Amino acid sequence: MGRQPCCDKVGLKRGPWTTDEDCRLMNFILENGIQCWRTIPKLAGLLRCGKSCRLRWINYLRPDLKRGMLSETEENQIIQLHACLGNRWSKIASHFPGRTDNEIKNHWNTRIKKRLKDQHIEPKEKAELIFEMMPESSSHIPETKPKTNEMNGRRYEIDILSDETTILLNNYEMISENLDEASLTNHVVNTSASYSPSFCVEESSSKLSIEKSASTLGDPMQQWVQSTHSMLSWDPFNQLEEQLFYFRSG
């Protein structure tokens, strides 16, 4: 027999999340980490299904999320990546640390698509224009020697990589030099030690206060832990897969 169902959806709350629910979920994850989404709502005292909690965490509560509008550079990169990858939003989002697939998908559907339509340009045409204007960031199969990046003694070839990802890799290298493997693993597995004091509930206003988290940003380890989510989603094999995808579709 398999496992128990994720949720029966009876008596579960739906719709927008309240501040209190956000706090409960965030507190629980920061203190206990994520083992099983199905059990999280019950243990955190939430009347939500695991899927809903997962979505809320990934798209809204994750500490490493980047807020605000996407820059023009990011928008151009999205157009380029979309030309290569199609609607594989999670793959596209993996190139933008702190951005979610949902956010990029929404941005594409509501703004980029409309903007290109207004200009009577097909997305692929626009991507080609960007390729021509910015050959360095091109997603084409490189004819010359590609850019490379080294991590832990291994050298990866990179032809699509945002500047932020490069910075992230450099930070990782820098911090790796100063930490032994065991302590690093502990920080990756259990982020609660780093985060539990980073926010609290103001009982009077029921507002989430994240002021303290800003004060922790000076700590290199804190910074690194914040970026770990994005870092771990980076996969050198993605590059190969994407190149093959483009090669096949082109």
Partner DNA sequence: AATGAATTCAACCGCCAAGAG
Partner DNA sequence: GCTCTTGGCGGTTGAATTCAT
For residues 51 and 7, what is the distance between their CA atoms, to the nearest angstrom? 9
CB of 243 to DNA, least distance (A): 17
Give 79 or 222: the residue with its C-beta nearer to DNA: 79
CB of 61 to DNA, least distance (A): 9
Give 1 or 10: the residue with its C-beta nearer to DNA: 1
Provide the 3-class DSSP secondary structure of residue 86: coil
Distances (CA, A) of 71 to 53, 74, 104: 29, 5, 12
Site residues, DNA (CB under 7 A): 1-6, 9, 14-17, 36-38, 50-52, 54-56, 59-60, 87-91, 101-103, 105-107, 109-111, 114
CB of 10 to DNA, least distance (A): 12
Instruction: Please classify residue 92 by burial: count the beta carbons closer than 10 Å to its beta carbon, then call 0-12 exposed, 13-18 middle and 19+ buried.
Output: buried
Give 100 or 137: the residue with its C-beta nearer to DNA: 100
For residues 12 and 35, what is the distance between their CA atoms, to the nearest angstrom? 21
Give 144 or 237: the residue with its C-beta nearer to DNA: 237
CB of 178 to DNA, least distance (A): 29
Report which of 19, 48, 35 is spatially closest to residue 191, judged by C-alpha positions: 35
